[in-house]
């Protein structure tokens, strides 16, 4: 029972922080499961990816209702991201756990510093859509994002949203909605592979899904009333601490 509550707490924490910042829960969930709950990273990644499916489809449904999903882009990029996810899920069978921990550490540090950057509060009204010019580059990015997401158990929103917003030129709200839908499809592909290989620990996933479902809804609500700067600073500190804890053992072995 104690372990179950710990898994619920991990999911709740991931949902709260991920829901507030719109990053998805995976970037928080894998470190929490690994460090706080003591779950091996090879077990934590499939659990995280499975929980992301539930969270992403729930969020993207709201964006679809409001017409904030570019379905044309979603269909094209989803194909390549799913291929990347399947590739990454299979690679996880041979990639050492230490390499996975170091890779996740790099992503945590990148996310922590990117959150501290200033962000415009207003959205550009007119965009020059660059999809015809950069679609090939974006399909490659989507594939690599899929590989990365499957390997370390994240959704990939930290890469997809900037790509859609800055490279393609979609409105920020549409970038988030399209990214949310893409993450759901790609995570489902990874989940299927992990399930076929028997890598999903159902004793953990139940509590995590319960926690992230509740945490995501509460985090989304708090995001409308809380002070972003305070939460970003707290998140920055937490991410750097988790990155240090994740990298400590592999780096100690190298050095």
40-69, pLDDT tens digit by residue?
888 999 998 898 888 777 777 777 888 888
- The whole-number pLDDT of residue 143 equals 94
Distance of CA 101 to the CA centre of its chain: 15
Task: Say whether pLDDT at 80 is over 90.
Answer: yes
Q: In Å, what is the CA distance from 106 to each residue of 8, 10, 111, 159, 183? A: 26, 21, 9, 13, 20
Tell me: pLDDT of 96 over 80: yes
Q: Which residue has the higher pLDDT, 186 or 84?
A: 84
**Sequence-distant (≥ 6) Cβ neighbours of residue 245 within 8 angstroms:** 31, 35
Q: Region 95-107: what's the mean pLDDT?
A: 81
CA angle 164, 229, 34 (to 5 degrees): 75
pLDDT surpasses 70 at 115: no
Three-class SS state of 254: helix
**Which position has the token pair 């929103």?**
157
Q: What is the mean pLDDT of residues 182-201?
A: 89
pLDDT of the residue at 151: 85
**Residue 247: which pLDDT band, with cuts at 50, 70 and 90?**
confident
- Which range has the worst mean pLDDT, 16-25, 91-100, 119-128? 119-128
Q: Where are the alpha helices (DSSP H) in the chain?
A: 2-21, 26-31, 41-65, 71-91, 97-116, 131-152, 157-162, 172-196, 202-222, 228-254
Determine how many CB atoms are found less than 10 A away from the CB of residue 6: 20
**What pLDDT score was predicted for residue 195?**
92
Mean pLDDT taken over the chain: 80
Checking if the pLDDT of 216 tops 90, the result is no
Domain ranges for the chain: 2-116+124-254
């Amino acid at each position: 029972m104690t372990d179950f509550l710990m898994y619920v707490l991990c999911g709740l924490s991931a949902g709260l922080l991920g829901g507030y910042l719109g990053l998805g829960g995976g970037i928080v969930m894998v470190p929490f499961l690994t460090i706080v709950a003591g779950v091996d990273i090879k077990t934590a990644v499939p659990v995280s990816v499975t929980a992301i499916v539930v969270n992403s489809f729930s969020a993207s449904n709201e964006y679809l209702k409001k017409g904030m999903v570019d379905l044309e882009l979603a269909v094209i990029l989803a194909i390549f991201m799913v291929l990347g996810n399947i590739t990454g899920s299979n690679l996880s069978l041979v990639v050492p756990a230490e390499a996975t921990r170091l890779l996740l550490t790099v992503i945590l540090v990148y996310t922590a510093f990117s959150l501290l950057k200033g962000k415009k509060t207003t959205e550009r009204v007119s965009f020059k859509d660059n999809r015809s010019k950069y679609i090939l580059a974006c399909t490659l990015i989507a594939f690599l994002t899929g590989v990365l997401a499957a390997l370390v158990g994240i959704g990939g929103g930290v890469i997809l949203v900037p790509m859609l917003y800055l490279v393609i030129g979609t409105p920020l709200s549409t970038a988030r909605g399209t990214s949310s839908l893409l993450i759901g499809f790609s995570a489902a592909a990874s989940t299927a592979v992990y399930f076929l290989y028997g890598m999903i620990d159902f004793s953990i996933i139940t509590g995590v899904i319960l926690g992230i479902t509740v945490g995501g809804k509460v985090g989304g609500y708090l995001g409308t009333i809380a002070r972003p700067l305070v939460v970003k600073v707290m998140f920055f500190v937490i991410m750097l601490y988790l990155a240090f804890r994740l990298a400590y053992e592999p780096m100690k072995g190298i050095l």
